[in-house]
Amino acid sequence: MSSKVIDEQPVIAREGWLFLAISVFISGLASVYAPLWVALLFWLISLFVLQFFRDPVRTIPQGEGLVVAPADGRVIWTGITHDPFLDRNAIKVSIFMNVFNVHSNRSPVDGVIASIWYRAGSFLNADLDKASEQNERNALHLKASSGEDITCVQVAGLIARRILCYVQTGAYVEAGQRFGFIRFGSRVDIYLPTTAKLEVELGNKTVGGESIIAQLAS
């Protein structure tokens, strides 16, 4: 199995530049005008912002039928369920991202964006099963190059209030390519054909674009 480096983004995600600039500016002012402990507190906040918006280069495994993780995090759900977007039975994998995970979202396969659905909703704890149905979410229907239908859903969380998606219907994406970002804790659900072979289990940690989560049937 070969691999490919995806190097399309800066080390710090562009979504965080404004937040980082503001936090560093305030920290600098605190260093001059505030007590030392206050300045240290603001610099710790700046470090948190820096780590939250980090966006490291990823090396994407290459191989026929491979499905890579769409996000960094922990697998909190696997099994056969109903895909509400394509109205079919499917294997679902849910990946929970806490505030210390990288929050870039990456395409799980090579393919074309066939459809995009946005649904408003609540902001329940993203670790809960019902968050998939009740929370604000943005879903991509990917028609994989191998012909399979994949649904990849960005789900907002308890404190996540912004889902960002940068692809449009008809666009071609490569596996591991960055397509969006969710700010401040959330989850990504992926629906696969029932013929796919899962390569992850509950509790497994994933690295977006690098971890193989499934193998599509050839």
DSSP states along 8-46: -S-SB-GGGHHHHHHHHHHHHHHHHHS-HHHHHHHHHHH
- Is-catalytic flag, 186? yes
| C-alpha to C-alpha distance for 106 and 72, rounded to whole angstroms | 9
Q: Which residue matches tokens 């404190």?
A: 159
Per-residue pLDDT tens listing for the chain (218 residues) = 655 556 555 677 777 788 888 989 999 998 888 889 889 999 998 888 887 788 888 889 988 889 999 999 999 999 999 999 999 999 999 999 888 888 889 999 999 999 999 877 665 555 556 556 667 889 999 999 889 999 999 987 665 567 888 899 999 999 999 998 887 668 899 999 999 999 999 999 999 999 999 999 86
Q: What's the one-letter identity of residue 12?
A: I
Residue 25 has a pLDDT of 92
- Point out the catalytic residue in the list 94, 186, 211, 218: 186
Task: Set out the domains of the chain in order of their start, with CATH numbers.
Answer: 66-215 (2.70.70.10)
pTM of the model: 0.84
